[in-house]
Amino acid sequence: MTKRDEMRVDKALQGLEFPVDRERMVDFATDREADAETLAALRSLPAGQYANKDQVLDAVPQQPEGDAPGGTARG
């Protein structure tokens, strides 16, 4: 997940009461009309309970930003 993805997930989960499981997060974000990338990031989470939004953000698989292999390219 990139920094931008983190912001999308953060926004999509605003108002969600924790603890919560993955399915509830996806349903909540869907109801808030989150974009496809945000929903994909949430669906990629391991099943289980999440105590808070930070735990969610830490669990989403990380992907490098930009074109640099394994790194971040920002202009």
- Cα separation, 20 vs 40, whole angstroms: 17
Q: Where are the domains of the chain?
A: 3-59
17-45 per-position pLDDT tens digit: 999 999 999 999 999 999 998 999 899 89
Contact of 17 with 9, CB cutoff 8 Å: no
| Average of per-residue pLDDT values in the chain | 83
Residue 19: C-alpha distances to residues 2, 22, 24, 53, 73 (Å)? 24, 10, 10, 9, 35
Enter the pTM of the model. Answer: 0.76
